[in-house]
Structure 1
Amino acid sequence: MVSTPSISNLPATIAWENDGLSILDQTRLPHETVVEKLTTAEEVWRAIHELRVRGAPAIGVAAAYGLCVAMRASLHLPIAEFRAQLAKQAAYLDSARPTAVNLSWSLRRMLQAAQASPASETASLLRVLIDEAVAIHDEDRALCKGIGEHGLPLITEGCGVLTHCNAGALATTGLGTATAPIYMAHAAGTKFRVYADETRPLLQGARLTAYELQQAGVDVTLITDSMAASLMARGLVDVVIVGTDRVAANGDFANKIGTLALAIVSRHFDIPFYVACPSSTLDLHTATGDAIVIEQRRDDEVTHLYGQRIAPANMKVSNPAFDVTPHELVTGFITERGIVKAPFARNLATLFAMEGDAA
């Protein structure tokens, strides 16, 4: 087993201390490091919706703790009413964002833990919920480590790695997904370079991925999204590793807008294209990518940059947060159990057959 490298110079994405939830406000990075305490369901909902906590795994952990925060206000209720309120609050938190499957996955798991509990007092049932949220949190860190171990051989001496958006430590509560092999290779002393797409329109690559890799001492170069093909043409990219917010049963997957173009150009230049995918992001009940709901975000995310208008007034805007990449363009999925190759429908289902909650 490969030891987990330390990236302790990064602040915790999510913290649960003294039964209280705190998040790192990622909209303020890299210029400010602001930790925010969330005390109500509404605050947790807004933090997820407004991308102050973001990244599919981190969203799942935040939602699990958020449900615990929400239920504190109902401790005075009879147990039956407490359980009814629990379902209502879970549905409310689940509405914060539609695409990342970890949100609904973690909330469904929390409800299942409550349903399985014989607790007859609200305080006891709340403790069951907190324990389950802590377990989800611990498992997220373990999933990241497993992805890092299995993806480590993909990063060789002198190679160039390209990534898109932020599937890093800031998107999880561990080493990240797409960045986990990067951190492990760096800790092992492998010399390689990383190219981080800026990732328009919200610049998660520039603000977050480039920031966290630089903080960890990784050799990282920031590029605009439109530069990727040129770098590939020059032979500077040997492997592409991206994350994902939802993987359909056939291997189609949703990730930050621009991922599809990156996969297409990777195929053109015959560059391996890998997707870092923890089991919590698999949606084996969704047959193909056509059924994945794509979040549409505000016009001003495209027309403005840091509060300054960069487009003409009254301009029509299309702003899907994600796109769907067909499985035919994927070389493999890096999971905590190994790298899954085609045929994905069969191999994903086989590898995670015992994961009843990987959906």
Structure 2
Amino acid sequence: MTSSASDLVTVDVVVVGAGVVGLACARALAMRGLQVAVFERETHFGQGISSRSSEVIHAGLYYPTGSLKAELCVPGSRALYDYCATRQVPHQRVGKLVVATDSADLPALERIASQARANGVEQARLITGDAARNMASELRCCAALWSPDTGIVDSHALMQALADDAEQAGAMLMYGAPVIGGECAAAGQVLQIGGAVPYRVEARWLVNAAGFGAQTLAGALQGFPAAAVPPLYFAKGHYFALSGRNPFKHLIYPVPEPGGLGTHLTLDLAGNARFGPDVEWVDAPDYSVPTNRAQAFANSIRRYWPDVAVERLQPAYAGVRPKLGGPDAPAHDFRIDGPAGHGVPGVVQLFGIESPGLTASLAIAARVSSLVGG
């Protein structure tokens, strides 16, 4: 960073937020030779949404044709696998079974298969219940969609690699440095940085990847239209870990439910199983996991794994998704709003970046980079 004659610190681009998407954006922009500064209110990267996900690399099965989620998940998944292999980020292509537990689920399963084909997920295919049970003998289902390109990743190691790449390309990562407001002008953005020693930064471009704080920051920018800031809702999901032996080698998902993908079984890289998330709409992020939810989890899991014992379900963690619509609203897409959309030069706003944000992070970064001028 440099200081101007008016004692403003100046850079080409400010990225607000050091989650997986913010770090990917910083990396992509710094590798173009731009002077990039990342400001994060927490004391380390990935302390918000990115640290409380299921760590799944999604294949892109579900998202509506033409949506940003569909357009960015499939190439993002391929890019992420390549990146993890190149940078030796721990990951595994374990595959996923989306299961129809009775005949009433079959139309939904067929719609998912059709949507997957429309999205360019070439390897996904419908299989019989017998074929699914050959892959997971304790599974109860009458049919399944097999997605071999679904995987898991060590999200912390991924963010560490992205942060290292960004810094090696010249980006500066500033922690404990919240952006508390600013002013948008044609010549650039002047931002107020809080923390122990407040100061101001001037940037030709601002990329708002602040997750839960994206709407608050956008609303605190003088000169940015309030009508271009969407509402924010919080969908909390609890996770329970399975104690003892795990009989599954693949991820197991029921057909989706309103607000999420159902109480599914995911794996970590050690082969341990966990279940979640459920969906609870809350007024603010809250990461507690009530133990009395275990029975409801067991009831849901028994639809596809009848032998699960509630005593084996232990509270693990909770995550919260930033939603652009409430519980009765249809599913919303990502919003990546550049100057052509909101009319303010030099500003890119990222709103509602939930799942599959981790999977699509490199593709999101490429999209953001395409909006940022040289």
Larger radius of gyration: 2
> Under TM normalisation by the shorter chain, which class is it?
under 0.3
TM-score w.r.t. length of structure 2:
0.23
Q: Which of structures 1 and 2 has the larger relative contact order (alpha carbons within 8 angstroms, sep 6+)?
A: 2
Higher helix proportion: 1
TM-score (norm 1): 0.23
